[in-house]
Amino acid sequence: NSKVIQTPRYLVKGQGQKAKMRCIPEKGHPVVFWYQQNKNNEFKFLINFQNQEVLQQIDMTEKRFSAECPSNSPCSLEIQSSEAGDSALYLCASSDSYAEQFFGPGTRLTVL
């Protein structure tokens, strides 16, 4: 069973509001991934980190999305100005390599 912790489990925001969610990876896992799963169950990779460094991110992430994994603090994903299309399940996964990825429970974001 995954030991990845994500908070909050549910997040409701109005359009234009900031939305911030956090992730504590499994102990000993230096690689953290963020994926978005939309209402059609489609996965979209957003960004990943190894320790504090960004490994890869998609273009969308560079605009309204920001993420970080500071040392000794939870990782976070923030949407600066939420849009209705951002409503989705945001999944954080951690790994001890670039292979097995274990997902946390997710943060379900609803943008009204």
Partner 1 sequence: GEQVEQLPSILRVQEGSSASINCTYENSASNYFPWYKQEPGENPKLIIDIRSNMERKQTQGLIVLLDKKAKRFSLHITDTQPGDSAMYFCAAPYNTNTGKLTFGDGTVLTVKP
Which residues within the stretch 46-65 sit at the binding site for partner 1 (CB under 8 A)? 48, 55-56
Q: How far is CA 71 from CA 1, 49, 52, in A?
A: 25, 12, 7
Extract the tokens encoding 69: 């994994």
Q: Of 20-28, 33-41, 65-73, 79-87, which part binds partner 1 (CB under 8 A)?
A: 33-41
Q: Of 15-23, 67-75, 77-85, 103-111, which part binds partner 1 (CB under 8 A)?
A: 103-111
For partner 1, the closer of residues 82 and 101 by Cβ is 101
Give the one residue of 19, 67, 104, 109 binding partner 1; rule: CB under 8 A.
104
Give the one residue of 22, 30, 78, 105 binding partner 1; rule: CB under 8 A.
105
Indicate whether 7 belongs to the interface with partner 1 (CB under 8 A): no
Residue 84 has phi, psi (to 5 degrees) of -55, -35
The closest alpha carbon to 24, from 7, 36, 9, belongs to: 7
